[in-house]
Amino acid sequence: MQRTRWAAGALAVVLLVVGCGSDGAGGSSDGDAPLRIGVIGELSGPFAIWGVPARDGMRLAVEELNADGGIDGRQIELVERDTQGVPEEAVTAFRELAERQDVVAAGGIISSDVGLAVARVAEEEQVPLFLVMAGSDRILSPDSRMTFRTCLPSASMIVDPLAAYIGEEGITRVATIVADYEWGRSVEDAVEGRLRGLLGLDLMVEVAPVQEREFTSYLRRFQELDPELIIATSHPPGALPLTRQAAELGIDAVVSGSNSPAAAVVTEVGDAAYDRFLDLACADFEDPSYHELATRYHDRFDGFMEDAAVAGYGQVLMLADAVETQDSTDPQAITDHLRSRRFELPGYAWDLGFTANGDLADATPLLTILRRTDPPEGVNPGADWYPEAVFRSPPLNPSEP
């Protein structure tokens, strides 16, 4: 498997092959027409705190590539659609992008319900699709060829880093809050299968609606257990209010999120977040390539570069590399290229590679805790907090659909 590496400088991608443009199977027939990439994003609703940064990461990559000449001399155009986290809206938007906007690929998906619905259409329409979060195990099938995970591992994989952390810290009392939708139930299955049988571990599970924001009654049921860790990874929209409410009840437990945006954690949880909120990350916040990328992101968007933004940026770079190297916008050529490479992307915690059906290969996500500290220069000026990596997962075995 070949490896593609990007420098961490101001302009983005080292494009490996410069093409001349030909037909759809061997190159572009559209001359100087823009190369369109779709954004199927949760830009409003409960998943917008992930969807907007993912979109902005894609925007930054497109702006930098266009400033450097585009792809094969063609400028790139983002065609953005807000799904609001509603699968039916997402399917309609994706079909419109595929059939009327002629996008070469689409990315930015956060919700598992949306990912499950759109991935089926991506196979039908033969349009490559990138997931940012969307970790339900059911999204990828043995026959998936168009859909690729890029940040959050599948639910069956994501419990392994937590299990390793539990073992390393000697934790014996764990509570879990599950959102009653595709991702939450998938994580619940993994928690039950991976943690329930651990010797000496007391485990308590509660289920709440995905729209729930008031967790006091659930947390009171946890109090008798006196948990050392509350897994809120299975309830992404609720992890932040749950953390604040647990602190208000005097529950002295670490709370795990699901790649929750750090800026949103600080805003919503406040002082209770520090030294308490444990989170998964596909971005390596300590890596110099992240610092350089995040500084450019802050200059452009005046905000902290979350790992959803790092993933959105990387999605565009990988697509650019595929189109340029293969001299083609043919979906089969693009997806074959993606599966044949490992990508050393700016800011990532591991070299990104894919299995035959688009799952993450050898993912090593980080567990981070928010600390009160000055961020690296330029990364998030004026802030007094930063994520600190406290645990690096061993390479995860890809799930088997």
353, part of any domain: no
> How far is Cα 76 from Cα 83, in angstroms, rounded to an integer?
22
Total domains in the fold of the chain: 2
Q: With 60 as the cut, is the pLDDT of residue 192 above it?
A: yes
User: Across residues 379-394, what is the average pLDDT?
Assistant: 95
pLDDT tier at 399, thresholds 50, 70, 90 = confident
40 in the same domain as 112: yes
90, part of any domain: yes
Residue 95: per-residue pLDDT: 97
In this predicted model, what pLDDT tens digit does every residue of 137-164 receive, in sequence order? 999 999 999 999 999 999 889 899 999 9
Q: Enter the tokens of residue 357.
A: 């059906």
**DSSP helix/strand/coil, 130:** strand
352, part of any domain: no
Residue 2: per-residue pLDDT: 72
220, part of any domain: yes
**DSSP helix/strand/coil, 63:** helix
359, part of any domain: no
User: Across residues 379-401, what is the average pLDDT?
Assistant: 92
Residue 11: per-residue pLDDT: 41
User: Across residues 71-86, what is the average pLDDT?
Assistant: 94
47 in the same domain as 72: yes
Burial call 46-67: b when 16+ CB within 10 Å, e when fewer: bbbbbbbbbbbbbbbbbbbbbe
274 in the same domain as 381: yes
Sheet holding 35-41, edge to edge: 76-82, 35-41, 105-109, 129-131, 147-149
**What is the CATH number for 31?**
3.40.50.2300
> How far is Cα 393 from Cα 162, in angstroms, rounded to an integer?
9
Residue 217: per-residue pLDDT: 97
376 in the same domain as 304: no
Q: What is the 8-class DSSP label of residue 277?
A: E
In this predicted model, what pLDDT tens digit does every residue of 279-292 receive, in sequence order? 999 999 999 999 99
Alpha carbon dihedral 291, 295, 297, 298, in 10-degree steps, equals: 130
| Boundaries of domain holding 208 | 155-283+366-392
Residue 31: per-residue pLDDT: 62
Residue 8: per-residue pLDDT: 43
Q: How many other CB atoms sit within 10 Å of the CB of residue 386?
A: 19
Helices 48-67 and 307-326, axial angle in degrees (round to 10):
40
Mean pLDDT of the chain: 91
357, part of any domain: no
Residue type, 385: W
372 in the same domain as 338: no
Write the CA distances from 204 to 182, 190, 286, integer angstroms: 20, 14, 34
The 3-state DSSP composition of the chain as helix, strand, coil percent (nearest 5) reads 40, 20, 40
User: Across residues 269-274, what is the average pLDDT?
Assistant: 95
Q: With 50 as the cut, is the pLDDT of residue 342 above it?
A: yes
246 in the same domain as 178: yes
350, part of any domain: no
278 in the same domain as 244: yes
User: Across residues 352-360, what is the average pLDDT?
Assistant: 96
209 in the same domain as 257: yes
59 in the same domain as 86: yes
Residue 12: per-residue pLDDT: 37
Residue 13: per-residue pLDDT: 38
CB contact at 8 A, 244 and 272 = yes
Q: With 50 as the cut, is the pLDDT of residue 196 above it?
A: yes
User: Across residues 47-62, what is the average pLDDT?
Assistant: 96
Q: Greatest CA separation found in the chain?
A: 68
322 in the same domain as 270: no
Q: Enter the tokens of residue 3.
A: 């490896």
In this predicted model, what pLDDT tens digit does every residue of 4-54 receive, in sequence order? 766 544 343 333 222 223 233 333 445 678 999 999 999 999 899 999 999
Tokens 């599970």 label which residue?
Answer: 205
378 in the same domain as 332: no
Q: With 90 as the cut, is the pLDDT of residue 328 above it?
A: yes
79, part of any domain: yes
278 in the same domain as 163: yes
